[in-house]
Amino acid sequence: MSKELRWGFLGAGGIAPTVATDFQIAGLKIQAVATRDLARTNAFADKFGIPNRHENYATLVADPEVDIVYVSTTQNFHERDALLVIEAGKHLLMEKPFTLNAKQAIAIQEAAKHKGVFVMEAMWTRFLPTMVEVFKVLSQGDIGKPRIVYGDHSQYLPVTKAPRLSDPELGGGALLDLGIYPISLAVRVLGLPKAVTGKATLSDRGVDEITSMIFEYEDGSHAILETSMVTAGPVSATIHGTKGRIEIERSFYEQVPFTVFDVDNNVLLRYEEKIEGRGMQYQAIHVEECINSGFKESPIMSLSETVAIMKVMDDIRSQTGVKYPNE
């Protein structure tokens, strides 16, 4: 029987309560937590019944009752926090965006290899039942060869709603926080592009409010992707192939229905499955399976793919002039 892992939560940012709730739904064991503030740590621990409460990140990663650390600090701290976890010999699941840039991601990849720990970007979407089914449809060839991935992730997140995203010091902008989802989908479906074009509209503070992207592939396929934090877009994605298409409904990166059509617009399949919680538990279940199988990387969200995606985002930012002060 496989060993149950004991999770430590490093940071308890915006997404952490949702993750903790989903972990509880799946019966995963949250053993410890540390935030920057003990009162906040205790409040979070009380809410989720977490036994070990730490005054700082250093004691959390040193906790012998912690096997794997889930990091949900802001991305400007991801490299620092990841290296802290890895140096302590703990496995790591880290919120997206993985880092600010590829250089930081490579530093983490190298440290992980050196210490022999498992590290994964928390691209939870890939592990949702609906997305597993999308890739089953693709692998069966139901839509033929995929030629175009078309996806939008535009959410209205002005400074009053999400101050973090407006702040260049915190690695703000639409691309890293929202754009990562359609980018990750495109790379999972079509692989790594041979060329990337990005155009952006920047805020007064120099982060991207809108980024439009075209990815070109060796075989002539395209991905055409949109992200914005100043508008609410369709937030849908379509994969068109030579024999049909898959339309994933609004909030395509969540557990939502999808429909498969042939090229004559006949419905081949409509898939809809309700799950408990938001679905952030599936990635963690996968992580536990990987670690119990002795894997150092996920076959579905590998570190090398994370690094490659960070390079794509570096490329886009270099074309659009988004540079963070602390990179």
Q: Which residues bind a second copy (CB under 8 A)?
A: 147-148, 150, 152, 154, 156, 195, 197, 199, 201, 209-210, 212-214, 216, 220-222, 224, 226, 228, 230-234, 236, 238, 240-242, 244-245, 247, 250, 261-265
Tell the smallest beta-carbon distance from residue 194 to a second copy (Å). 11
Dist CA 49 CA 66 (whole Å): 15
Q: Which is nearer to a second copy, 100 or 229 (CB)?
A: 229
Among 287, 288, 277, smallest CA distance to 18 is for 277
d(CA 140, CA 42): 49
How far apart CA 95 and CA 97 sit, in angstroms, is 6
Alpha-carbon span 83 to 88, nearest angstrom: 8
Closest to a second copy by CB, 195 or 269:
195
Work out how close the CB of 124 gets to a second copy at its nearest, in angstroms, rounded to a whole number. 21
- Please report how close the Cβ of residue 212 comes to a second copy at its closest, in angstroms: 4
- Give least dist CB 161 to a second copy, A: 9
> Residue 38 in contact with residue 66, Cβ under 8 Å?
no
3-state secondary structure 59-87: HHHHCCCCCEEEECCCHHHHHHHHHHHHH
Q: Mention every residue, 6+ apart, whose C-beta is less than 8 A from residue 63.
A: 8, 31, 32, 52, 54
Residue 246 beta carbon to a second copy: minimum distance, rounded to whole angstroms: 10
Q: Which of residues 74 and 211 has its CB atom nearest to a second copy in the complex?
A: 211
Q: Contact at 8 Å (CB) between 178 and 210?
A: no
- Residue 190 CB, shortest distance to a second copy, in Å, is 12
Nearer Cβ to a second copy (99/130): 130
